[in-house]
Amino acid sequence: MGEGYTQSEVLLAVLHDHQQGSTATSPATPPPPVEAASDTGQQEKLAAENTAPAAGTAAMGECSTEYRGLPDANGEDAGSVPVPAALRKVSIVPLVFLIFYEVSGGPFGIEDSVGAAGPLLAIVGFLALPVIWSIPEALITAELGTMFPENGGYVVWVASALGPYWGFQQGWVKWLSGVIDNALYPVLFLDYLKSAVPALGGGPPRTFAVLGLTAVLTMLNYRGLTVVGWVAICLGVFSILPFFVMGLISLPRLRPARWLVVDLHNVDWNLYLNTLFWNLNYWDSISTLSGEVENPGKTLPKALLYAVIFVVVGYLYPLLAGTGAVPLDRGQWSDGYFSDLAKLLGGAWLMWWVQAAAALSNMGMFVAEMSSDSYQLLGMAERGMLPAFFARRSRHGTPLVGILFSASGVLLLSSLSFQEIVAAENFLYCFGMLLEFIAFVLLRVRRPDAPRPYRVPLGTAGCVAMLVPPTALIVVVLALSTLKVALVSLGAVAVGLVLQPALRFVEKKGLLRFAVNSDLPDIGVGRSPASAEEPLAP
């Protein structure tokens, strides 16, 4: 160990190990000694980091420099994995826009709320539902996402609290709901273009357009085009800017009385709630990429706060402009109607701008969602829940197998209508959120001393009370689902209940290789070895 390493050699070695995605079958290369650093200042900095005491539950907004495992029964730390600073690449501003794309991407798709319930209920819904749903979900994501900053995200949360079986069920329903969600974006994209190109409204032209669009966006994802950095910022600004202009143009025509129109006897509650719910959920999707966040204990909670404000304002502003400036025709308010409103208010140039913004926004949302879904599969494979080939990366560093699986699901589901996709996705998403709520409370009770760089500023009783309204909303959404959606969704849930034991049987027989990444810290669960020769892995 007396041989020295230069600083550049250390960085190259770290990057090489990260790209190769080491697993339990190949032991990790030991890091070079601290004293080998060539730069004296850097040597002192590394030595200080290596000798820093382990942090327990940090104060709100503070963060630890490393991802530590859960403490054992005696309160001692079960192990830690230092996170190289060079691999932390998403700072707070790009992260806000990444969350924006995971959740919203702009007001495209909120038009059905007006068609289903009228202006007043639509406006009230986008004011009330963030309090009932978005803020609690964002708070849970902030606490658990900083507690487990790895790409398994919510799968790891549930596995730590309820065991690997339920962790797999969480991964299955959330991945499936994410794929269903991703099937919406080609549909929305074509719905915005069909007013200019009527042939895209149906038939073979629409089918070929969906195939081509999915193939192009999947290739972009394969090449590593994720909605991060300045690309995410530019796409987000471009998606919102035409609605800002449309709002300014609408000012002379605004009639506030139009916002108060309501007809409680003519409300499609199923479509109304599903549209609101779809446009204000998926705050936890960022958790499957939280391993890529710079200083997650401080950055992730702040980014979630700013993103909640950004998303809510981004919905209400164009909703107020569109319903207040144009006489109400609820039959016209369906997905894609904002481009027609832009033409009425500003002319063809504004319509084309809105359609271009919709195209780029849907591209951003598609790539962001596929990235989240595919990295979730990679994270599950690194925890031994899926075959090891899911953890393989392409030469671009992207999870190739996860991308292909996610793209196949999008193509299979893209023939459904917008309303059917939203309803099925919400049904599955509700199951996953119930598991997250249970995991959140159980981890508070069973692991009170686990490191939490960010903690929701409520006690256990307060957290339970916070979860009562969103749980009631879940019950309402499930109760209002159609029989067709309920049967299909329950069938999908049943597949997951059988799939996990089937995969364990396949592992035991040695038909597929499973492995646990030895670099990941302990999360308080164990996995039975597939054979007598395989050691027990955490």
Structural domain includes residue 30: no
Taking 60 as the threshold, does the pLDDT of residue 259 lie above it?
Answer: yes
**Cβ proximity of 156 and 379 under 8 Å:** yes
75 within 8 A of 449, measured Cβ to Cβ: yes
Please tell me which residue, 359 or 32, carries the higher pLDDT value.
359
Residue 526 inside a domain? The answer is no
Residue 12 falls inside a structural domain: no
Distance CA 328, CA 326 (A): 6
Q: Burial, 262: exposed, middle or buried (Cβ in 10 Å; 0-12, 13-18, 19+)?
A: middle
User: Which pTM was predicted?
Assistant: 0.77
Three-class HEC string of 177-229:
HHHHHHHHHHHHHHHHHCCCCHHHHCHHHHHHHHHHHHHHHHHHHHCCCCCCH
Least confident residue range of 281-285, 368-372, 528-532? 528-532
Average pLDDT, stretch 110-139?
A: 94
Is 243 a member of any domain?
yes
| CATH code of the domain covering residue 211 | 1.20.1740.10
Q: In this structure, is residue 25 part of a structural domain?
A: no
Asked if residue 57 belongs to a domain, the reply is no
Contact 519, 81 (CB under 8 A): yes
Chain Cα centroid distance, residue 229: 17
Locate tokens 């084309």: which residue? 352
Is there a domain that residue 111 lies in? Answer: yes
**453: alpha, beta or left? (left if phi > 0; alpha if psi -120 to 50):** alpha
- In the predicted structure, residue 124 carries a pLDDT above the cut 60: yes
Residue 260: give the domain boundaries.
Answer: 92-508
In a domain, 6, yes or no: no
- Answer for the pair 34, 43: CB distance below 8 angstroms, yes or no: yes
Question: Taking 80 as the threshold, does the pLDDT of residue 474 lie above it?
Answer: yes
DSSP state of 334: S
Query: What are residue 67's DSSP bridge partners?
Result: 81
User: What's the structural domain count of the chain?
Assistant: 1
293-323 residue pLDDT tens: 778 888 899 999 999 999 999 999 999 999 9
